[in-house]
Structure 1
């Protein structure tokens, strides 16, 4: 049996063919020299890798070196490796002698199955169509070929604003890991690396995300039993005093390979069939995993190596330093300041703050998509190139002009006001687009539409906002105001 080389995002038992298979694990310090990762992300990745090495014991050869090449020079035996999760890593392993590349693991729909589905489509690819295919193909929440409950998507039931006059959803908090000697060693090493000149962003803090399969499975069980029911209706809502809401906080566990995604999907399906959890909540969770997560993974490979450079809206401005550095204290807009602070302090916010606050603000200002991909990759504990490329380039920044989404995810302050409690105490008014109290999201929305009206393809979903833009008598003043504001913190 050949030795299985596991990357640091391939750490679960489903990446091995046999529980006794010999393993190679490599910790490369150069990875952290090249980019300024969030301190808590660096801690999580190193902790997970070292915990896996400790679990495997003599079964694993664990090498801590400057580069992967340094480690591989010490290995004389043939290796095999599961398909890596980035194009650069795939090119690297395919160029190595005595290394066999196996098909990907850690996802549900295979690359060949996806390509066969996508090749048969006409026009743009849409997640809703893929999701239906995946549900049928993997027999998830179906009766024969039909969806349980009669509808493929319950999304309309899962868009509730947060309950009024509450600080937190009425759900138990997710179980937090207990740090151990490995975490202490990681923290000491990161402190030393910083003294040597390796730079991180964000703040250090207690490890909040699973670093072992046991921790990840415990969080999954807790979520399915105690939190999944409330996840569905409020999955798109935001509360300034409740960053976790009812989200599973398992994205980093899936992306480290600690959890098999299909196992989580089957667990949610069983919770519904036991009548423990409403169908809408279960369907929303299933859609995120075998729908959106697999869709984004497969598109990263299907679209090919040129896709990350897509910039069809000609966004030319660099991401400013205050955003790079997560300088929440420099920002006065309540939503943006609070969400940057959560990211600074936790290395994570859920998908709506990412898309409708962070990504929305960047889209309105015309920041370069490739820089944003790198920023999301480095700043989030669950950030990897494959997941951030399509999410940012295609969905958040609409830089591919709709190859995988129907319209730009851009909105004014009204959306944030409806789906959160941020606007009530903010110095800016979501109804105003001009003046001292003009909401930067509302003003930015109209500026974005005016700047890109000739680039955005016409479709029914954009007809109404473009018609409203034509009726705005003060649009030139709004544009001048936003240009004067520049890229300083709002």
Structure 2
């Protein structure tokens, strides 16, 4: 009897995968494939493609060492069809496989494609749940049922109780669920700043880098230097390094931004978690253990764990609950094209140049740079949300649609009208000046509110609020802001609107 064909995707690099648990060593065949379709449906950052291809190649070796029969199709194989469906079909015909097993993908478009494979291939195709997450799609739907509003904080408290992380019985450690108010300190340039764990490319990674350089030369971003870990051991070393040298100060300064300091105290392990090289619950247990041992303060441990069992699980639940319509939401009706400087980084606005510049270099920017710099600007300027979404999906090494789309359309752009968040994350130049040192070297003056040379965020902030007042004017969290606007002199209000119009008219 023919064995099964087990397809393992590039973001499923764990031996605990549900499809592998159902397979049989010595009888079934594992298929892994580098395909052009997945590398180009958006123009992914060169470092992102290199990371995934190298991690896939190393994982295939890990599976072989564990006794699996593995067929690995490289991108430059002469017979490569360029699509996952094509490679599965080729493998089924070559080996006479009796069935295809695959763990469900993290993107709606790929799941829809997989659902048609059985008819196209004339063999049974079983799509298994992805139980690497703590909450199933069905459990999240049950939590969401009947709620008029979804709020991550409510979901997060349930996750703390469910996992027992940072809990003392039924109460949170320290008597508080959320220490976010303590995690907003601006950083000083003279603080010690650790660097993330870096690894030298081995021979396999070197071959991948050469391939990416040849095949994806016109994609966004710098390919070299390349320092990401591409194995499970490397990812675990990166996590251990973060916990020991950066986590103790992560909480205090997780919202801070400094010129020339790309990473501050951030973990830079999300790409490893999202690709399967690190288990999210195990990561949180190690952070909790560091707190219990007195090695890190509670606000740091809680702030990190909230990102993993709170936001990460929450946005995945939103994604599967609301797709496919979620991708087309545009609450504000924003229609402006994405400015060219999102791809080049060439702008006189120092904050945007810094965030986009390091994104080009590293395929990384931390969450405040994404939310309050590039995301905030796009929302204030009225950039079309789907274009913003596709940019974020392309440029970051940790971006997969299930996690990126709700963070972009919901949290960053408020394009879902408040389903995910309670208010738009809108801010003017004062926020940038308070949380970063970008403004000190900027051509624009953050203290000038309007006119030539004024920080564009100042006028854009008020212009955004005024032009969208019919949609968000009754939001209780914006009441004081609108009262401030109403008390302004008419001349001052007109100057804000005029300055915003002048800036937007020159935005290309």
SS in 2 for 1:100: strand
| Match 1:60 to one of 51, 70, 75 | 70
Question: CA RMSD for the aligned pairs?
Answer: 1.8
- SS of alignment partner, residue 101 of structure 1: strand
Unaligned runs of 5+ in 2: 75-79, 119-123
The structure-2 alpha-carbon separation of the partners of 1:18 and 1:227, relative to structure 1 and needing over 3 Å to count, comes to farther
- State the partner residue of 2:11: 9
Query: How far 1:489 sits from its partner (Å)?
Result: 5.9
Contact 2:194 2:264 in 1 (8 A): no
1:99 aligns with 2:125: yes
Residue matched to 1:133: 158
Residues 105 and 487 from structure 1, CA distance in 2 versus in 1: closer, same or farther, beyond 3 angstroms?
farther
Question: C-alpha displacement at 1:488, in angstroms?
Answer: 4.8
Tell me, yes or no, if the aligned pair for 2:45 and 2:221 is still in contact at 8 Å: yes
Secondary structure in structure 1 of the residue aligned to 2:154: helix
Q: Deviations over 1:313-345 (max 9, x none)?
A: 11011112222x2x22x3111111111111111
Superposed displacement of residue 20, structure 1: 7.2
> Shift in Å at residue 478 of structure 1?
2.4
Change (3 A) 1:288 1:81: same
Displacement, 1:468? 1.5
- When structure 1 is superposed on structure 2, of 477-486 and 254-263 the one drifting more is 477-486
1:418-457 → structure 2 map (5 Å cutoff): 418-456=434-472
Name the CA distance, whole Å, in 2 between partners of 1:30 and 1:424. Answer: 44
Superposed CA offset, 1:131-185 (max 9, x none): 001111122111222111111111111111113x42xx42432210110111221
State which of 144, 152, 158 in structure 1 corresponds to 2:177. 152
2-structure distance, mates of 1:442, 1:176: 39
Measured in 2, the distance between the counterparts of 1:303 and 1:339 equals 30
Aligned to 1:303: 322
Q: CA deviation at 1:265?
A: 0.6
Aligned residues: 480
Is 16-25 or 435-444 further displaced after alignment?
Answer: 16-25
Aligned to 2:270: 251
Query: In the alignment, which of 493, 497, 500 is matched to residue 479 of structure 1?
Result: 497
1:178 and 1:19 map into 2 onto residues whose CA distance is: 34
TM-score scaled by length of structure 2: 0.91
Comparing 420-429 and 408-417, the one that deviates more: 420-429
Question: Relative to 1, partners in 2 of residues 1:210 and 1:105: Cα closer, same or farther, differing over 3 Å?
Answer: farther
Pairing partner for 1:114 from 116, 140, 143: 140
Q: 1:71-90 maps to which residues of 2 (within 5 A)? A: 71-76=87-92, 77=97, 78-90=99-111
1:172 and 2:194 equivalent? yes
What's the TM-score, normalizing by structure 1?
0.94
Call closer, same or farther: CA 1:289–1:436 in 2, change over 3 Å.
Answer: same
* Offset, 1:431: 2.5
Superposed CA deviations along residues 429-459 of structure 1, whole A, max 9, x for unmatched, are: 2222212221011111011111111111513
Secondary structure at 2:472 match in 1: coil
Cα distance, 1:211–1:457 mapped onto 2, change above 3 Å:
farther
Pick which of 13-22 and 398-407 moved more: 13-22
Tell me: CA distance 1:210–1:487, structure 2 relative to 1, closer, same or farther (3 Å): farther
Q: Distance in 2 between matches of 1:338 and 1:231?
A: 21
Indicate the residue corresponding to 1:242 in structure 2.
261
Q: Distance in 1 between matches of 2:117 and 2:329?
A: 30
Measured in 2, the distance between the counterparts of 1:11 and 1:482 equals 47
CA distance in 2, matches of 1:228, 1:108: 23
Equivalence for 1:190: 212
Q: Do residues 51 (structure 1) and 58 (structure 2) align?
A: yes
Shift of 1:14: 2.3
Partners of 1:281 and 1:351 lie apart in 2 by: 15
